[in-house]
Amino acid sequence: MSVSGGDVRNGAAVTRSGFLKWLIGIFGVAAMAGVVYPVLRFLKPPAAVSAAIGQVVNVGAVSSFPAGQLTAVIVNDKPAAVQNLNGKYTVYSLICTHLGCVNGIAGDTFKCPCHGSEFSPTGTVTHGPATLPLPTYHSQVQNGSLLVGPVDLGRAAYPTWYKGEFT
């Protein structure tokens, strides 16, 4: 580095070897950056720590979920909806089974804004392109509150955005 730098300062022509040294240096620094950057990112703790995933969470008093309606809630940082069918509470994931968009709530049904998938009040597909029904969460009522546990994927081949997150 110092050799070629001296050449430039003295107004002499850049030598072939001096130029190559700079080139090697630039590529070397770029290659080092390509390693150092991922390593530093790796050492930064991830925002979503696993302790919070798949935990049982209290999503609120059952009185806050009106009968015959879907009420949006957040379960472990994931969008979900609570359905109250005359005192029977079911928690659906709001993540579309097609490509992972967040479904909108349309009355008592689900509608995906991305590709138009629609799901019935029981979570089954009424309109494609989705093929799998919306998964539900394990849930139970305790002391007037609704407790929500991990998502129930059954045996169906659900996409990866449900798996791994809730194991």
User: What are the residues binding another protein (CB under 8 A)?
Assistant: 2-3, 5-6, 38-39, 41-44, 46, 48-50, 164-165, 167
The residues near 165 (Cβ < 8 Å, ≥ 6 apart) are 53, 54, 76, 78
Quick one: tokens of 127?
């309109």
Tokens describing residue 62: 């059952």
In whole angstroms, how close is the CB of 62 to another protein at the nearest point? 31
Nearer residue to another protein within complex by CB, 15 or 131: 15
CB closer to another protein out of 144 and 164: 164
Q: How far is the CB of 3 from another protein (least distance, A)?
A: 7
Cβ distance to another protein smaller for residue 47 or 157: 47
Q: Which two tokens stand for residue 114?
A: 């991305």
DSSP string, 48-104: S-GGGTT--EEEEEGGGS-TT-EEEEEETTEEEEEEEETTEEEEEE-B-TTT-PBPE
Looking at residue 135, the DSSP 8-state letter turns out to be P
Closer to another protein by CB, 46 or 144: give it: 46
Closest CB 124 distance from another protein, rounded Å:
29
Report the distance separating Cα 128 and Cα 143, nearest Å: 39
Strand partners of residue 85:
88
CB of 122 to another protein, least distance (A): 30
The residue (of 46 and 154) whose beta carbon lies closer to another protein is: 46
Hey, what are 149's tokens?
Answer: 């546990």
What minimum distance in Å lies between the beta carbon of 130 and another protein? 23
